Structure 1
Amino acid sequence: MTIGVSVGFFSFGMQFNHVVAQSVLCYIAMMLLPQSVMHIGVFGLALTYLVTLHLYRAFMIPEDILYSIDVSGPLMIVTEKISSLACSIYDGRQGNKDKLSDLQKRYMISKPPSALEYFSYLFYFQGVVVGPLSFYKDYIAYVDGTDISKRPEENGVQNNNVYSGSNKFSPFYAVTYKLSVALFWMGFHFTMKPIFPEILNCDPEFIRNNSFLYRFWYMIFSMLCCRAKYYVAFSLGDAICNASGFGFNGYDCKGQPKWNLVTNVNVLGIEGATSPKMYLDNWNIQTAVWLRLVCYDRIPVMKKFATFFLSAMWHGCYPGYYFTFIFANFVSESARNARKKIRPYFQRTRNLQVFYDVLTWLCTHIVISYLVVPFTILHLGQTLTFYTYNMYGCLHVVVFASFFILPFIPAAQSDNKNMSLKSNGTNSRHTVECNNHLPDGTANKSAKSNGIKMD
C-alpha cells in the first residue's frame, strides 16, 4: 500500500490527493451507512466524486493543457474497486442469496474489510496507475495464498487451482507474451499514429479533398491506430500483475497455468471478432464485469441502456462518450437481431459459413470504427462534423432501418439440425472442460459476467 501511494504521488503529484480523499470518504460511508442502503450510498458517492472531476476536466481546464497527465485514470479504477466492494458486502450480508446472479455469488463477502485491507486493496502498487481492475475477493485470495491452493466448491463447481509439484506455475511465459504484445503495439502506435491521426476524421479540408471510400478506409485504420495505445496499457498492466504472482486462474484442460484473472484485453479476439458482442467480450474485460456486477444485475428495467449510460459516465463528460455508448446500445440490439435472422441462411455449407464469417468480420470492424470515432475526438462539434459531413450518418440509417426490416425477413429452414446439435454439444463440452477465461471455474460465465455484453 505504501509503495502504491508513493507511486501515485510520484506519477500525479498533488492531484493524487483526489484519489485518497475519495477513498477515505467512501470508507467512512461504508462503515456508517445502514447496510440495507450502504452499497447505493457508497456507489453514488464514489461516482459523484469521479463525475465532478470529469466535469472539471472537461469544462474548466484550458484546451491547450487538456491532454496533459491527470489523475482521472486512477480515480476511475478506484471508483470501480470501491463500488464493487460495497456491492459485494451488500450481497454477502443483505442480499437474497436465491436471487443473486452467479457473478454476485462469486464475489460476495460476509464482512467489511478492515482499514488496512481496504486501503491495501485500493492502492496495491501493481495496479495503482492504470489498473487493471481486480475484485476484492480475488485480491484477498492472492494476498493469503488461496489463489494457488485448492479452494472449496463455489456455486457447486470445484475450482481447479490446486498446486502440486507436477503442475507448472511460473508466470514467465505469460509475462513474456504480454510484454511482447505491449512492445509490438507500442511500436505500431508511435510509427503509425502520427501518420493517421484520428482528428482528420472530422477535418473539413480532409473531407473535401478525399473520396468517401478513402475516408471510410481511413476511419477504420485510424481507429486501429487508436486501439494500439490501449493494447499497450492493458497488456503492460496485466504483465506487471502476473510478474508479481497476481492473476493466476487455475489450469486449463491441457494442464497449462492460466494467468488471465485480471486480463483486460484479448487482442486476437478483438481483431478477429465477427460480431460486436465478440468484439466487446474481449475489450476492457474487467470493467465490463464491473458494469455487470454493479449495474446490469441490479436494476429491473432498461438494463442494457442503463449499463451503457453508466459506462459513458464512468469514462467522462465529453459528448463523444455519450454518442458512442448510447448508439452502442442500438448497435448491440441490431446485431443480435440480425444474427438470429440472417445467420441460419449461411449455415448450410462450409463455403457459406466461411463467407458469412468474413462478411461479419468486415462489418463488425466497420461498425465499431464508426461507433468509436466520437470516443476519440470527444467534442460535440467535431463529432457532428464526422457523422454528418464525413459519413452522412450512413450507419445510423442502416442500424435504425434494421429494426423495421429484420422482422419481415422469413426464418430460415434448418437442414442441418443434427449437425448443429452435434456441433453445439462439442462446443459445450469443450467450454466446460477447458474453461480458459473464467475467474472461478464455472462454465461459460464470461457470457454472463461481461458487463455491457448482454444477449
Structure 2
Amino acid sequence: MDALFNAVGDASGASVDQIKLIACLLVSYPLGSVFIRIPASSSFKHIFNLSAALFFLIPVLNLSGGFLQLLGSSLATYFIAKTNTSAKMPWIVFAVAMGHLTVNHVIRSFFSWGYETMDITGPQMVLTMKLTTFAWNVVDGRRPAEDLDKWQLAKRVSKFPSLLEFLGYVFYFPGLLVGPYLDFASYMALVDETLYKTAGAKAENAKRAIPKGRKRVAYRKMAVGLLFLAVYVVFRGHFDPAEALKPWFVSKSLLWRIAYWQLCVFSERTKYYSVWTLTEGASILTGLGFTGFGPNGESLWGGASNVNIWLVEFPSNFKVLLDSWNTNTNIWLRECIYKRVTPKGKKPGFRSSMFTFATSAFWHGIAAGYYMTFISGGFVTTAARLCRANFRPLVLPPPGAPMTMTKRIYDISATFVTAIILNFITAPFLLLNVKDSLELWSRVGWYGIWIIGSTLVFFYAGGAKLCKSMRPSEVPVPEKLPGMPGTPGPHVVPPLEIAAEEMKKQIEATKN
C-alpha cells in the first residue's frame, strides 16, 4: 500500500503521511454511507467503527503500536469509570489520559517530527477529549438531576455502556484522526437514531428516521475541503512561514514583510480548513451533526462543525474569532475543565481561567511556541474586551436608528485589527521555538506588541474613564443577533435543549 502513496507523494511534492491522512478522510465518505445503512441500535455499528479504525491505523498509517496505545488508554478509562464511584474519578481519568498524551508529545519533540509526520499524538488528542468527557458524563449520571446544568443533564450517562458500545464510541471512524470529538450520549443517539426522533425530523423514507438533505450538505463540505486543500498546496509553495526567517526577507520593506506574513498564516489555516471540513462532511454522512430545521424546513447539519471559516477570516472581535476556531475543543475546555474547577456556587474566576489555559497548552504539546501564543492570547483577550466595553458604546447608533458611517468604520477597523493581531500571535504556534518566534516578531516590527501594549496602557492610564465621560446620557442597547430568543428572525431549538427539557419532564413525572 505504501508504494501507491509514495508514487503520489513524489508526483505532488507532499509528504506521504499527509497524503495518507487525506486518503483516510476521503475513504470515510463511502464508509459513512455504509455505516448509516446498518440497522439502528445494531452492535454491528460499533464493530464497523472498530474495523474502520483498525484499517486506518494499521495497514494505511502503519500505527499498530499507536493503536495499542489508544486501546490501552480507552480500556483504562472504561474500568476506572466503572469501578471508581467517587467524585474524583474524572480527575483520575484526566491524569491518566493527559499524562499519556504528554509523554507522547515529549517523544515527538525529542525526534523533532514536523507537521508533515503523522504519529499517534493527533488521534490521541481527540481521544483525550473523549475519555475525559465520558468520565464527567458518568459522574453526572450519578448526581441528582437538579444539580446539573442543561449540558450536563443532556449529556449524562445514566446507564453504564457495554465494552463494545464504549469502544465503538472512542473509535468512531470519521472523527478518529482529526476530530470532531463527540460525547457518548451523542454517539448513542446517532447509533439508535433517537437524535432525529427527538427533534421531529422528516425522514428520508418511511423505514429510516434520518432527515432529508444529509448527502447534499456532506458532499458540499467535501468540495469545500478539497478546495482549501488545493489552496494550501498552491499557497504553501509561495507563502511558507519558514521563508520569513531567511536572509532575503529582511531586504524587503516593513509593510511588505507584514503583508507577506498575513498570507503565510492564511496558507497554514487553509490546511486546518481542509481536514476539518472533510471530516465534518464524512461525519454528516454517518448521520452526525443534525441540529434541527431552518426557517424553510430544510435540515441543518452544523453539529459536527469544528470551524466557521467566514468568522475566522472576518471576525467582528477577538471573542468571535476564538469561538469560531476549533469549536469542539472550546466546548471540551469549557464543559470539562473551566466549569469543573470552579467551586459549587461560585462563578469561574482567575483560577479557572489559568487551569484551563494550562490544560489547553499541555494538550497541544510541550513546545514553547504554544505557550507564547496562549499567553499572548490572554493579553489580546483583555485588550479586546476593554475596546469593546469602552469604544463600542461611543459609536452605537440610538435604538431604532439606521447604521451610521462611524459604526461601519468601527466594525471594519475591528475586523482588520483582529485579523492582523491573530496572525501576529500565531507565529510562535507555527515556528514552535522561542528564538525563531522572537526573530519573526522583530522582522515584522513587533507590530502586535505595539498594538496590544498601547491599548492596555491607554485604558489603564485613564482611557476607560475618558471614554465613559464621552458616552451619551442614554447608552444605546446593543443590537441582538437574528435567531436569538426574543428577537426577529428564525430561532432553531437544538436537540440538546429539547432533550434536556424532556429529561426534566420525565424526572418531575416520576417524582409525582
TM-score range, shorter chain: 0.7 to 0.9
1:168-247 equivalences under 5 Å are 169-201=212-244, 203=245, 205-247=247-289
Separation in structure 1 between the aligned mates of residue 442 and residue 272 of structure 2, nearest angstrom:
28
Q: Decide whether the 8 Å contact of 2:213 with 2:298 is kept in 1.
A: no
1:70-109 equivalences under 5 Å are 70-94=119-143, 97-109=145-157
1:404 to 2:460 alignment:
yes
1:335-346 equivalences under 5 Å are 335-346=384-395
Deviations 1:395-438 (A, max 9, x none): 452354355244333324347757x47x4396634779634595
Deviations 1:57-83 (A, max 9, x none): 11x21x377742111110000110000
Separation in structure 1 between the aligned mates of residue 458 and residue 492 of structure 2, nearest angstrom:
35
Paired residues in the alignment total: 427
1:291 to 2:324 alignment:
no
Amino acid of the residue matched to residue 490 of structure 2?
C
Separation in structure 2 between the aligned mates of residue 182 and residue 115 of structure 1, nearest angstrom:
34
1:2-401 equivalences under 5 Å are 2-10=51-59, 11-14=61-64, 15-58=66-109, 60-61=110-111, 63=112, 67-94=116-143, 97-150=145-198, 160-163=199-202, 169-201=212-244, 203=245, 205-300=247-342, 301-302=349-350, 303-348=352-397, 349-392=403-446, 393-398=449-454, 400-401=456-457
RMSD between aligned residues = 2.5
1:403 and 1:326, CA in 2 relative to 1: closer, same or farther beyond 3 A?
farther
Q: Decide whether the 8 Å contact of 1:258 with 1:436 is kept in 2.
A: no
Separation in structure 1 between the aligned mates of residue 249 and residue 486 of structure 2, nearest angstrom:
49
Structure having greater relative contact order (Cα 8 Å, sep ≥ 6): 1
Q: Decide whether the 8 Å contact of 1:341 with 1:409 is kept in 2.
A: no
Q: Decide whether the 8 Å contact of 2:155 with 2:185 is kept in 1.
A: yes
1:332 to partner: Cα distance: 1.2
1:332 and 1:172, CA in 2 relative to 1: closer, same or farther beyond 3 A?
same
Q: Secondary structure at the match of 2:325?
A: coil
Amino acid of the residue matched to residue 172 of structure 2?
Y
The TM-score, its normalising length taken from structure 2, stands at: 0.77
1:138 to partner: Cα distance: 0.7
Q: Decide whether the 8 Å contact of 1:318 with 1:379 is kept in 2.
A: yes
1:426 and 1:366, CA in 2 relative to 1: closer, same or farther beyond 3 A?
closer
Separation in structure 1 between the aligned mates of residue 187 and residue 488 of structure 2, nearest angstrom:
25
Separation in structure 2 between the aligned mates of residue 229 and residue 304 of structure 1, nearest angstrom:
29
Q: Decide whether the 8 Å contact of 1:249 with 1:260 is kept in 2.
A: yes
1:395 and 1:378, CA in 2 relative to 1: closer, same or farther beyond 3 A?
farther
Deviations 1:125-179 (A, max 9, x none): 22212221111111110001101103xxxxxxxxx44335799623122113211
Separation in structure 1 between the aligned mates of residue 293 and residue 52 of structure 2, nearest angstrom:
31
Separation in structure 1 between the aligned mates of residue 240 and residue 114 of structure 2, nearest angstrom:
19
The TM-score, its normalising length taken from structure 1, stands at: 0.87
Separation in structure 1 between the aligned mates of residue 274 and residue 115 of structure 2, nearest angstrom:
22
1:46 to partner: Cα distance: 0.6
1:77 and 1:437, CA in 2 relative to 1: closer, same or farther beyond 3 A?
farther
1:103 to partner: Cα distance: 2.4
1:295 and 1:437, CA in 2 relative to 1: closer, same or farther beyond 3 A?
farther
Q: Decide whether the 8 Å contact of 1:81 with 1:134 is kept in 2.
A: yes
Q: Secondary structure at the match of 1:194?
A: helix
Query: Which is further off, 82-91 or 305-314?
Result: 305-314
1:87 to partner: Cα distance: 0.8
1:56 to partner: Cα distance: 1.2
1:117 and 1:91, CA in 2 relative to 1: closer, same or farther beyond 3 A?
same
1:204 to partner: Cα distance: 5.4
Query: Which is further off, 340-349 or 282-291?
Result: 340-349
Q: Decide whether the 8 Å contact of 1:188 with 1:228 is kept in 2.
A: yes
Q: Secondary structure at the match of 2:293?
A: coil
1:2 to partner: Cα distance: 2.3
1:88 to partner: Cα distance: 1.0
1:219 and 1:99, CA in 2 relative to 1: closer, same or farther beyond 3 A?
farther
Q: Decide whether the 8 Å contact of 2:215 with 2:285 is kept in 1.
A: yes
Structure 2: segments with no counterpart, 5+ residues: 1-49, 343-348, 398-402, 499-512
Q: Which residue of 2 aligns with 1:452?
A: none
Rg (Cα) greater in structure: 2
Separation in structure 1 between the aligned mates of residue 489 and residue 58 of structure 2, nearest angstrom:
45
Separation in structure 2 between the aligned mates of residue 172 and residue 416 of structure 1, nearest angstrom:
51
Deviations 1:323-379 (A, max 9, x none): 111221221122112101001111135211211111001011011111111111111
1:424 and 1:33, CA in 2 relative to 1: closer, same or farther beyond 3 A?
same
1:196 to partner: Cα distance: 0.5
Separation in structure 2 between the aligned mates of residue 107 and residue 74 of structure 1, nearest angstrom:
23
Q: Which residue of 2 aligns with 1:413?
A: 471
Separation in structure 2 between the aligned mates of residue 177 and residue 402 of structure 1, nearest angstrom:
46
Q: Decide whether the 8 Å contact of 2:221 with 2:277 is kept in 1.
A: yes
Separation in structure 2 between the aligned mates of residue 335 and residue 363 of structure 1, nearest angstrom:
10
Separation in structure 2 between the aligned mates of residue 431 and residue 9 of structure 1, nearest angstrom:
52
Deviations 1:286-311 (A, max 9, x none): 11111111111112242223222211
1:400 and 1:389, CA in 2 relative to 1: closer, same or farther beyond 3 A?
farther
Separation in structure 2 between the aligned mates of residue 396 and residue 306 of structure 1, nearest angstrom:
23
Q: Secondary structure at the match of 1:253?
A: coil
Percent identity of equivalent pairs:
25
Separation in structure 2 between the aligned mates of residue 402 and residue 103 of structure 1, nearest angstrom:
39
Separation in structure 2 between the aligned mates of residue 331 and residue 65 of structure 1, nearest angstrom:
28
1:91 and 1:204, CA in 2 relative to 1: closer, same or farther beyond 3 A?
same
1:404 and 1:415, CA in 2 relative to 1: closer, same or farther beyond 3 A?
closer
Amino acid of the residue matched to residue 40 of structure 1?
W
